Amino acid sequence: MHTVVVGTSGVTASDVLAVARGGARVELSGEAVAALAAAREIVDALAAKPEPVYGVSTGFGALATRHISPELRARLQRNIVRSHAAGMGPRVEREVVRALMFLRLKTVCSGHTGVRPEVARSMADLLNAGITPVVHEHGSLGCSGDLAPLSHCALTLMGEGDAEGPDGVVRPAGDLLAEHGIAPVELREKEGLALLNGTDGMLGMLLMALDDLDTLYKSADVTAALSLEALLGTDKVLAPELHAIRPHPGQAASAANMLAVLKGSELTGHHQDDAPRVQDAYSVRCAPQVAGAGRDTLAHARLVAERELASAVDNPVVLPDGRVESNGNFHGAPVAYVLDFLAVAAADLASIAERRTDRLLDKNRSHGLPPFLADDAGVDSGLMIAQYTQAALVAEMKRLAVPASADSIPSSAMQEDHVSMGWAAARKLRTAVDDLARVLAVELYAATRAVELREGLTPAPATRAVIDAVRAAGVQGPGPDRFLAPDLAAADGFVREGRLVAAAETVTGPLR
């Protein structure tokens, strides 16, 4: 099994995905263990002094003015975990929780948190045992980190609360730890606080969204090319020299992908046939501009994610010169903004895909295709309601595009009076990504059927490869009305699992 080694300088996006989605094992580097021990010595020295130090010998948040005596400090650290594990609602997905745990371990190993090496080892042991804390949908405001979600993870580390075992069954955390030979952690000064203060949940969901959207944007280029072909559109608008004079890199990449998919098609360029056109509609002609803008948004979001992956997010932090300083690095604004930005871009990509689907189904605008791509229009309804479903998904995505990060709600007796709402931005983006895959699946379903209905004209080799692959995946072609939901579900899986892109790439080579 693949092993990810955690050092002091952060981790990569592929490391996070390997642990969260691939179940990779986790190990601590010798460098990380040494940094943990050195930082802990600083915390222990400060804990022995009479002067109060936030997070070490004081209360938290609005209660930071109280100095805590040494005999109460272990109880203080336990209590912050118990009281902050206050999430509600449905369980968060296993991959999100594993990303959350791993990213907190990443920051702990930076040597800036003051956590003991044995605590970090127990965090790695929990991941390696496949034990997943029960984390709930609601509880994070995205400031002071993802407090409630991280608290539920820390609670499991203490042997309290509930967790899911590697068999998928939720049981008391203490029982699961015992079965895997993991001793519950007895927290000491600062450690409870250090396990809770991070942007790890929203960052983990950002990284997984970027991974999914990379596939979906390539998929959208393929479905847009299929629709252009089915509508007898022109591929001249995809010429590299046209996109070079507006040098947005995402636009150029999208146009190049579409051009590669359409190479060798007999269906493109029929503008001056029986129903002459001067130009294709915007949803066809401007596909690279819209998808390209989304690609450039992805590039910006990746830059933010890379910076956050290299960060040590905690409060207070242990500095190399021995100071322990309070800060505001736990504020989720940088991550929250790009999470919202991605939801906007995804909604627009879905919107233009739905417009192409609608055009394929409308006999007045489809340039010779049967109404709703039906076998016997009137007796058959064809894909009429598939487009309704697609439109409903797009409508939901537009609602999800409303930014969460523009909101703020004060908490902690006005101590935490401006929050990022980054967790909420991440949660709605996950829904938007799922919806986008479904929207593209409907366009794929309609466009492949439409291309097959263009009898007498040969589609591009890449198009033919896509059609053959999607039919082999159980998505049926033209014919009388049938139970449509299974076909759409199969098309959805074909898109989100990357099989659509892989099918096109058997002819085009790697898409950009």
Q: How far apart are CA 420 and CA 407, in angstroms?
A: 7
Tell me if residue 26 falls in helix, strand or coil. strand
Residue 379 makes CB contacts below 8 A (sequence gap 6+) with none
Please calculate the CA angle 55-57-59 and round it to the nearest 5 degrees. Answer: 60
What is the b/e burial string over 324-334, where b = at least 16 CB atoms within 10 angstroms of the residue's CB? beeeebbbbbb
User: Are 389 and 442 within 8 A, CB to CB?
Assistant: yes
Distance of alpha carbon 133 from alpha carbon 375, whole angstroms? 52
Nearest Cα to Cα of residue 450 among 400, 382, 390: 382
Cα separation values, 162 from 148, 153, 159, 176, 177, Å: 14, 10, 9, 9, 11
CA distances from 183 to 37, 64, 232 (A): 20, 30, 66
| Residue type, position 59, single letter | G
Size of the chain in residues: 512
What string of DSSP letters covers 173-196?
HHHHHHHTT-PPP---TTHHHHTT
Angstrom distance (rounded) from CA 425 to CA 146: 12
- In the set 54, 282, 388, 445, the catalytic residue is 54
54 in catalytic set: yes
Q: Per-residue DSSP letters for 278-312?
A: SS--HHHHTHHHHHHHHHHHHHHHHHHHHHHHT--
Question: Cα–Cα distance between 284 and 271 in angstroms, integer?
Answer: 13
Is the Cα dihedral 356, 268, 497, 485 positive or negative? positive
**Which residues are known catalytic residues?**
54
